[in-house]
Amino acid sequence: MNRQALPQLLEAAFGGNRRALARLISLVENDAPERSAILDAVIPKTGGAWRVGVTGPPGAGKSSLLEEIVMAYRERGKTVGLAAVDPTSPFTGGAFLRDRIRMARAGADPEVFIRSLGSRGSLGGLSAQTEAVLDLFDAAGKDMVFVETLGVGQAELDVAECGYTTVVVLVPESGDGIQAMKAGLMEIGDIFLVNKCDHDGAALLEMELRAALELGSNADSWKPPVIQTSAIEGRGIAEAVEAIEAHRTHLAQNGQLPHLRRRLLERRLRRGVETRVTHALWTDPERAAKLEETLDKLLSGGVGFEESLRALLPEGLDGEES
């Protein structure tokens, strides 16, 4: 691997060099020593891209829809970055990243940059890694930035919420409506796509979703639209793109965008601090030894639980006067 100096690599990536951008993403993803320097250089260049998170159950058609939506944006002359996250096997650490199968046209377009990411056991958390990749796309001048992630589990939902606009994709079969409500997808969606409307049951699911959204409607003046789509037949794609643009306009006109940006950054900072503190806590050999010792005492009945817990807290948090 020819190791280019970081400043040149950054400059090349900001100037549109795809290999340089790809190398930077790897450095960030691999948690390389250059990671912090990259992130520091990248953040000031961000803010130009509109970020969209797309989530939903496996097989709902997220990748297929993104192929269509991305190509619709290409027709409008927009450049695109897309990160597709798939699970890493907790047993082997390997991953089968297959989203590109459905993105043949977008994948071959040099103005569309697609990156497949394994969820790994990322030290900084899955969303921290993904957000960094989105920042890189943004800094490299992409107009639209998408992230596809599975709508299962909290870590994945956090990733979906990295976007300014969150799109939830569901399908008529297999009781997706109920699943969505259980999985917390109803709360995060700004736009709902009922995909595979070429199958039976799309109208019913649309009604279910509308009813559920009606119940949950809050002070927010945005009413999440529910749109039937078929990635296979190309139906509802223009409507989906319009909905994304409408949501964007809505946030801009209501002056909510600075608010949203601030909230997203706040969450990111909080999470960053939390993961680092947690990491520092348990990698401290003294505390690790103390944990063993405390466990011994607890099991032999020598001390109570609260007392044990306090013994393990960092100074200042242990309730003792310092």
Partner 1 sequence: MDRKIRVLVAKPGLDGHDRGARVVAAALKDAGMEVIYTGLHQTPEMIVEAAIQEDVDVVALSILSGSHMSHFPKVRELLDAAGATDMLITGGGIIPAEDMKVLSEQGIGKLFGPGTDTREVVEYIRGEVSSRNS
Ligand X SMILES: Nc1nc2c(ncn2[C@@H]2O[C@H](COP(=O)(O)OP(=O)(O)O)[C@@H](O)[C@H]2O)c(=O)[nH]1
Where on the chain is the footprint of ligand X (CB under 6 A)? Answer: 56, 58-64, 99, 102, 195-196, 198-199, 230-232
Q: What's the rounded Cα separation, in Å, for the pair 257 and 318? A: 40
Cα angle for residues 97, 245, 153 (degrees, 5° grid): 40
Quote the DSSP letter at residue 235.
Answer: B
Q: What's the rounded Cα separation, in Å, for the pair 29 and 130? A: 8
From residue 60 to residue 89, the character string flagging contacts with partner 1 as x (rule: CB under 8 A) and all else as - is ----------------------------xx
**Residue 73 Cβ vs partner 1, minimum distance, rounded to whole Å:** 17
**Residue 26 Cβ vs Mg ion, minimum distance, rounded to whole Å:** 21
149: partner contacted, choices partner 1, ligand X, Mg ion, none (Cβ within 5-8 A by kind)? none
**Residue 91 Cβ vs partner 1, minimum distance, rounded to whole Å:** 9
Quote the DSSP letter at residue 313.
Answer: S
Nearer to partner 1 among residue 100 and residue 287 (C-beta)? 100
108: partner contacted, choices Mg ion, ligand X, partner 1, none (Cβ within 5-8 A by kind)? partner 1
19: partner contacted, choices partner 1, Mg ion, ligand X, none (Cβ within 5-8 A by kind)? partner 1
153: partner contacted, choices Mg ion, ligand X, partner 1, none (Cβ within 5-8 A by kind)? none
Sheet holding 191-194, edge to edge: 112-118, 80-86, 144-150, 50-56, 165-170, 191-194, 226-228
DSSP string spanning 68-80?
Answer: HHHHHHHHTT--E
22: contact with partner 1 by CB under 8 A: yes
Nearer to partner 1 among residue 148 and residue 161 (C-beta)? 148
Residues contacting 22, CB < 8 A, separation 6+:
115
Query: Which residues 54-73 are close enough to bind Mg ion by CB under 5 A?
Result: 62-63
Beta bridge partners of 167: 54, 191
**Residue 67 Cβ vs Mg ion, minimum distance, rounded to whole Å:** 10
**Residue 64 Cβ vs Mg ion, minimum distance, rounded to whole Å:** 8
- Round to the nearest angstrom and report the end-to-end CA distance of the chain: 52
Select from 29, 68, 99, 135 the one that contacts Mg ion (CB under 5 A). Answer: 99
**Residue 148 Cβ vs Mg ion, minimum distance, rounded to whole Å:** 6
Q: Which residue has the tokens 């409408």?
A: 246
Query: Which residues 217-246 are close enough to bind partner 1 by CB under 8 A?
Result: none
180: tokens are 């969505």
211: contact with partner 1 by CB under 8 A: no
**What's the maximum distance between 2 C-alpha atoms anywhere in the chain?**
71
Cα angle for residues 262, 268, 273 (degrees, 5° grid): 125
Q: Which residue has the tokens 């948090």?
A: 317
**Residue 43 Cβ vs ligand X, minimum distance, rounded to whole Å:** 30
Query: Which residues 27-46 are close enough to bind partner 1 by CB under 8 A?
Result: 29-33
- Could you list the residues that contact Mg ion (CB under 5 A)? 62-63, 99
